[in-house]
Structure 1
């Protein structure tokens, strides 16, 4: 009987026949390889078709059929196989070609993580395999180590591998489309456990800000102050450029390209935030001699923003172990809910959250700017322990 994928995987030592002279050779060491036995120039010869872990059963049959056809036409089968191996790129090469073809259409930093996920999780396992050898079993081997420990990453990797295989098919490198729908059936069910980032209780925030203001200014400390005063995401603060700020009008216009929801976010700046920014601007001018619009506020080299770890280190140096930088957005939201009568939709807009209801999002035309300005002024006064007017 012909071989099956399951038999290929579990067959014991020996020579196992498939059909038309194709055999699976399993050695005592456990290594598995394909061999085609056929008559050539009056002699029976065995031609190796590759290791079973690189060449799946379906491809081995195709290679065997092509080799038999080549012999019938009078070609040298050994030369034919050598040429075929040279012409078929490995999966890493095809992935990088696919990346080069697509990255021009990305306007954010997604292309960096896209390729990095392959370099970390995929290439070490299947990067050297020919692209025609990538099947469900190969992808399963990539996903199994990270499926439960890094579920979101695993799903992204699965989707990206599918993109590469689609690209390979379109380019004629893979004769048929490769379906990965069945891969997840060989994996355990992921149980999503929601974990919230640690957030400082809002009643503790003013004392923390007071302690932070007493420390000498550094890039990390100043970035954390601005993040707290504006309730923005840490990445939006770390990548801020001077051209985005109008200190006279007390507004910060964050471009859509740097926002999670890909919409421009106008942040009203409280007086405390403006005071901080003016001090930062003065120091920047003293250090660089000028303040360019494209210059980063928080950069050691003026061309690369500080990292998340730079801001987190500020918390750790201050012995704050139960809070994160991103968690200050939750601190702000809790304060607004507990200490103000500001409507929830205004707070959500201040946090630049997406409106979950599609109908509501379609009809809402206001960004509550004036109400948000009042909210941010109140929040800053609370943080700085300034008396309310």
Structure 2
């Protein structure tokens, strides 16, 4: 039998060793690469298999020959006991990694995840106002409660603590806050910071605890009763301000404030009486065609002479402020919101006409929630919406006699 090697190498031999593998005995080897880099390796046999496990770099700045032999001897004892030192090292490394990840997760707060999510996604959001709303609602309602809480620990009780105080008083804001929390918690789960169901999810969870927004009393947007709108439009027409024209146009088109003040002339075809709002400016992210009544066209023709980029420009240039129409309502001492006129239009359509529900909903550019209905109805019902908006303009221009009863005019609508 060949004689077993034992302590063959010397410190000088280690220093001067040429590229290759140099045995010291007992399974200890010095590996020298062509680059001159040196390292120690222990080769062992276990369950009939030969395996190598690195011990570290060799040389003045690494492990000395005597230290390498001590490490080899310690590993030989483990091998004799049936322990695979390589598997043990891999297990320890995995446990260390898991512990480090657990520590990272434990220190990852809701606010940190939210800021990461906003930073990654805000570039794709529609406008600066939308980005600011995300940040403001979280800073106002969410961060004071769970901002510094580990995101893994956020539960239903925390979500309710945030939502319940504002659910009825600020229904729309509360709904947006819930949706944003749900999105951030989903992002946290995707990144491995939490597990389990999302405590802010609506369907099958929060919906079983808090009433749906549709069941709450209307009050977020103070609305003018539709019976009073014709008289108000008459008063509006006596004012010469551009804001008055913009507000009347907003009422006649049942549009949102942002859609009107951001409207440009290249969106309008006066010959066809159509205003096409691009998807980038719509709440639902989908292009919306608005049929213009004769009075709406008349208003736009009156503002053409201003020769500006916007349909309703500000006095000093640029587009009109979002507060211009609101301030006009205050000066007229009318306690309603601009958005509330959309509610007036919707109530008038439901109570005074025979137009189908979906025609009015599409006039308001509401998203169709029912997937089956959305799949079967691909068009935008434009012709029916034109008739509806013409009737609405006629109604707004008809001021009822004082004390007269308002009689619903149920129109037979072509199916």
Aligned to 1:118: 138
Does residue 242 (structure 1) correspond to residue 265 (structure 2)? The answer is yes
CA contact (8 A) 2:226 2:347 kept: yes
3-state SS in 1 of match to 2:329:
helix
Q: Select which of 309, 313, 322 maps to 2:327.
A: 313
CA contact (8 A) 1:229 1:380 kept: yes
Aligned to 1:368: 381
Does residue 102 (structure 1) correspond to residue 138 (structure 2)? The answer is no
In 1, the alpha carbon distance for the partners of 2:356 and 2:154 equals 53
Aligned to 1:206: 230
Structure 2 unaligned spans of 5+: 1-91, 93-102, 400-415
Aligned to 2:279: 256
Aligned to 1:346: 359
Does residue 327 (structure 1) correspond to residue 327 (structure 2)? The answer is no
- CA gap of 1:113–1:229, structure 2 versus 1, over 3 A, is same
- CA gap of 1:106–1:380, structure 2 versus 1, over 3 A, is same
3-state SS in 2 of match to 1:214:
coil
Structure 1 unaligned spans of 5+: 1-68, 70-83, 286-290
Does residue 181 (structure 1) correspond to residue 199 (structure 2)? The answer is yes
CA contact (8 A) 2:254 2:341 kept: yes
TM-score under structure 2 length normalisation:
0.56
Does residue 218 (structure 1) correspond to residue 242 (structure 2)? The answer is yes
Q: Is the radius of gyration larger for structure 1 or structure 2?
A: 2
3-state SS in 1 of match to 2:199:
coil
TM-score under structure 1 length normalisation:
0.59
Q: How big is the shift at 1:351?
A: 2.7
Q: How big is the shift at 1:151?
A: 6.0
Pairing 1:1-389 to 2, within 5 Å after superposition:
92-107=111-126, 110-127=130-147, 146=166, 150=170, 153-154=173-174, 156-157=176-177, 160-161=180-181, 163-164=183-184, 167=187, 174=193, 177=195, 181=199, 189-192=209-212, 193-196=215-218, 197-219=221-243, 221-283=244-306, 285=307, 291-292=308-309, 295=310, 297-299=312-314, 305-307=320-322, 309-321=323-335, 323-355=336-368, 357-385=370-398
Listed one character per residue, the Cα deviations across residues 24-79 of structure 1 (whole Å, up to 9, x for unaligned) are xxxxxxxxxxxxxxxxxxxxxxxxxxxxxxxxxxxxxxxxxxxxx9xxxxxxxxxx
RMSD value over aligned CA atoms? 4.2
3-state SS in 1 of match to 2:305:
helix
- CA gap of 1:153–1:229, structure 2 versus 1, over 3 A, is closer
In 1, the alpha carbon distance for the partners of 2:226 and 2:175 equals 36
In 2, the alpha carbon distance for the partners of 1:298 and 1:240 equals 10
3-state SS in 2 of match to 1:316:
helix
CA contact (8 A) 2:250 2:260 kept: yes
In 2, the alpha carbon distance for the partners of 1:183 and 1:348 equals 26
- CA gap of 1:191–1:162, structure 2 versus 1, over 3 A, is closer
Q: How big is the shift at 1:226?
A: 0.5
Listed one character per residue, the Cα deviations across residues 223-254 of structure 1 (whole Å, up to 9, x for unaligned) are 21111121223332232222211112211001
CA contact (8 A) 1:166 1:178 kept: no
- CA gap of 1:117–1:296, structure 2 versus 1, over 3 A, is farther
How many residue pairs are counted as aligned between the two chains? 292
